[in-house]
Amino acid sequence: MARERFNPTIAAAMQEAIEASGGSVRTRRDYAVLANLFIAWLDEARAGVKTWADVTVKILQGYLRHCQETLRLSHDQTRKRLYIVKATSRYLGDTYGLPDVARTVRMKREQVNPLAQREAEARKALSASDLLAFLEHLARNRPQFYPIACLQGLCGLRAMEAANLREQDVDFSSGTVTVTETPYHKPKNRPSFRTIPVGPRVLAVLREWIASLKVRRADGCLFATERRNAPWSASGYSQAMRQELLACWRETRIETLRHFQPHWLRATFVSLCRAKRADHRLLQAYIGHAPSDVLGRHYEVIDVALLRAEIVPISEGIWHKVGTAKKSSAIE
């Protein structure tokens, strides 16, 4: 038994590391998918490798080459696949004293032309007019995504923060939205737990959405998939919203929407706020980023009133770009 515990099968080792990760149910499920991809590759390419003690640096380097050269996965996709392998290796080392064989296996940094990189970064932020065009498209064609996109593009919430918002997280009397842990989502870090003020137009969108719900979930979640009335997964939401971005591009021929990714709506909000010279420290607090200096981490207190005075007018002002969004006047 002792030998089995300290030399588990690869599947058992990865499962134990995933269970000990502290991630949400959904996160652990995503990790399990990635772990199974590694195990499936081993079964095909290294059939004799059955226990974690059989895993070597050379084998892991082969898996990395498989992801990069054979499958030609993107840098981010490869990083995700390698992450769960490295996390398992680190966990077994910290817990049982086994060699951390994956520690030295690293991806090479992508060599990117700085000018091309700046152009790519610029594509992550829509103009105010393009953002409004997309929001109007959702309001007309996919109203179930409209409030989520408003929370992303006009309040800077992360995709899963917005998609997993609950009715009890919205305080209409104080005009705030709270990002906190739910049964389906855990904020990324401590600063991500936050209560932020939102403008009357976003509140009106949320109020109208809640009033339209024919059935309310017991857990309070405001948004769910159409097919199973289940909370959105990160991949499911991203894929569905990506289809709407393409549909809007086909309808409007706004080229910036053609390759736009749903999670970049948050970058759009930040860019529009900075273009209006929003204080970067207040903006960091609003979107749930950790302060980057000692003053911000230990001394400065940023309250809701300060955020309301600095950020909300900018969010509200986005609606007035290029003539005012049609939907905004309909919900007042």
pLDDT tens-digit series, residues 51-73: 999 999 999 999 999 999 999 89
* Per-residue confidence (pLDDT) for residue 120, from 0 to 100: 62
pLDDT greater than 90 at residue 318: no
Confidence of residue 104 (pLDDT cuts 50, 70, 90): very high
Q: Token pair for residue 198?
A: 């939102």
What is the chain's mean pLDDT, rounded? 88
Confidence of residue 196 (pLDDT cuts 50, 70, 90): very high
Of the candidates 316, 297, 296, the residue with the CA atom closest to the CA atom of residue 308:
316
Q: How far apart (Å, rounded) are the C-alpha atoms in residues 277 and 332? A: 28
Q: How far apart (Å, rounded) are the C-alpha atoms in residues 107 and 105? A: 7
Confidence of residue 147 (pLDDT cuts 50, 70, 90): very high
Does residue 45 sit in helix, strand or coil? helix
The CATH class of the 121-331 domain is: mainly alpha
> Considering the chain, what percentage of its residues have pLDDT values greater than 70?
90
Q: How far apart (Å, rounded) are the C-alpha atoms in residues 8 and 79? A: 25
Any idea what the Cα angle at residue 137 is, between residues 153 and 266, rounded to 5°?
Answer: 15
Question: Looking at the chain, which runs of residues are DSSP E strands?
Answer: 170-171, 176-179, 194-197
Q: How far apart (Å, rounded) are the C-alpha atoms in residues 15 and 220? A: 31
Q: How far apart (Å, rounded) are the C-alpha atoms in residues 161 and 165? A: 6
* Per-residue confidence (pLDDT) for residue 122, from 0 to 100: 61
Query: Please, is 28 exposed, middle or buried when counting C-beta atoms within 10 Å of its C-beta (0-12, 13-18, 19+)?
Result: middle
* Per-residue confidence (pLDDT) for residue 93, from 0 to 100: 92
Q: Which residues contact 62 (CB under 8 A, 6 or more apart)?
A: 45, 46
Contact assessment for residue 317 and residue 328, using Cβ atoms and an 8 Å cutoff: no
Residue listed under structure tokens 């007019």: 129
Q: How far apart (Å, rounded) are the C-alpha atoms in residues 187 and 181? A: 6
Q: How far apart (Å, rounded) are the C-alpha atoms in residues 230 and 73? A: 30
pLDDT greater than 80 at residue 255: yes
Q: How far apart (Å, rounded) are the C-alpha atoms in residues 315 and 319? A: 7
Confidence of residue 112 (pLDDT cuts 50, 70, 90): low
CA distances from 134 to 6, 23, 200 (A): 54, 33, 20
Identify the bridge partners of residue 196 per DSSP, sorted by sequence position.
Answer: 177
Note the pLDDT tens digit of each residue in 17-44: 999 988 778 788 999 999 999 999 999 9
* Per-residue confidence (pLDDT) for residue 110, from 0 to 100: 63
The domains of the chain are located at 2-96, 121-331
Q: How far apart (Å, rounded) are the C-alpha atoms in residues 98 and 222? A: 45
* Per-residue confidence (pLDDT) for residue 115, from 0 to 100: 62
Q: How far apart (Å, rounded) are the C-alpha atoms in residues 29 and 263? A: 21
Mean pLDDT of 109-136: 77
Of the candidates 76, 126, 130, the residue with the CA atom closest to the CA atom of residue 265:
126
Q: Token pair for residue 15?
A: 């499962």
* Per-residue confidence (pLDDT) for residue 3, from 0 to 100: 43
Note the pLDDT tens digit of each residue in 209-249: 999 998 888 899 999 887 777 889 888 999 999 999 999 99
